[in-house]
Amino acid sequence: MRLYDLFVAGGICMIPLAACSVAVVAIIIWRCIANARVAMDADSFLREVEEEIRLQGWEVALAVCRRTPKPIGSVFATAIILRERDSAALVESVQDSAVKHSQPLEWGLNTLGTIATIAPFIGLLGTVLGVLRAFWNIGLQGKTGAAVVASGVAEALITTVAGLSIAIVAVLAYNALLGWYSRYVENLQLAGAEMARCVKSLLLRSQGEARREAVL
């Protein structure tokens, strides 16, 4: 039986199931592309920003952070802007910034979770409607027998198979993407905290040098 024939045999519930399957595939592809774009080498970028602070000053380093089209750039920029705060408050602010600027990376996760929940129910509804239609046709035609009933039930179960298949893919994708997102936020917070400590160290050093020059 061809895919089109299965789709037609599944009845009207195959339409929302098809929409769910397209949505799942689209979200997976989009999230993989978006995740690859924001991948970061925190240590390398930290060294780059630290070097800019030492050689060019705070404003140049801030401009470098703002030109970086990744959450890590915004997080490091927050550390530079709020460098006058005490260490504990600075680390907390930077970690909050990491969560805030990572939120767009959650896009699609709620949709995947919703599809994983409702797809089996849509499939079950399609099966119930299919069985109802099969028995209705048997009553109208006056034909009975195991072969006739089995044929109708087999067609009705198509939506259940489709719904479960979509839900399985959606659950696997949801767990994988959620795990990646959690690790990304955690690593971004750690990088932000390290940047905050680096900023405070450089600030205290520059203030100490300024005081010594003032004394001299």
**pLDDT string in tens for the chain (216-residue length):** 577 677 777 778 889 999 999 999 999 999 999 999 888 788 899 999 999 998 888 999 999 999 988 999 999 999 999 998 888 899 999 999 999 999 989 999 999 999 999 999 999 998 888 888 777 766 766 666 555 566 667 777 889 999 999 999 999 999 999 999 999 999 999 999 999 999 988 888 877 665 665 555
Establish if 32 belongs to a structural domain: yes
Establish if 175 belongs to a structural domain: yes
| pTM for this predicted structure | 0.82
Q: In which residue are the tokens 């592309």 written? A: 33
pLDDT for 158 equals: 87
Establish if 186 belongs to a structural domain: yes
pLDDT for 39 equals: 85
pLDDT for 185 equals: 94
pLDDT for 1 equals: 56
pLDDT for 213 equals: 59
> What backbone phi and psi angles, to 5 degrees, belong to 144?
-130, 180
Question: By residue range, what is the domain housing residue 168?
Answer: 3-209
pLDDT for 157 equals: 85
Q: Which amino acid is at 103?
A: Q
Q: Which residues contact 170 (CB under 8 A, 6 or more apart)?
A: 20, 24, 112, 113, 115, 116, 119
> What backbone phi and psi angles, to 5 degrees, belong to 190?
-65, -40
Establish if 215 belongs to a structural domain: no
pLDDT for 72 equals: 93
Tokens of 146: 């195991």
Radius of gyration of the chain (CA): 29
Q: Which residues contact 3 (CB under 8 A, 6 or more apart)?
A: none
pLDDT for 33 equals: 93
Tokens of 142: 């006056």
pLDDT for 147 equals: 58
The count of structural domains within the chain is: 1
**Per-residue CA distances from 36 to 24, 40, 85, 165, 168 (Å):** 18, 9, 34, 27, 24
> Is-contact 112 27, C-beta < 8 A?
yes
Establish if 112 belongs to a structural domain: yes
Establish if 214 belongs to a structural domain: no
Establish if 129 belongs to a structural domain: yes
Q: How many CB atoms lie within 10 A of CB 144?
A: 10
For the chain, what is the HEC assignment?
Answer: CCHHHHHHHHCCCHHHHHHHHHHHHHHHHHHHHHHHHCCCCHHHHHHHHHHHHHHCCHHHHHHHHHHCCCHHHHHHHHHHHCCCCCHHHHHHHHHHHHHHHHHHHHCCHHHHHHHHHHHHHHHHHHHHHHHHHHHHHHHHHCCCCHHHHHHHHHHHCHHHHHHHHHHHHHHHHHHHHHHHHHHHHHHHHHHHHHHHHHHHHHHHHHHHHHHHHHHC
Establish if 20 belongs to a structural domain: yes
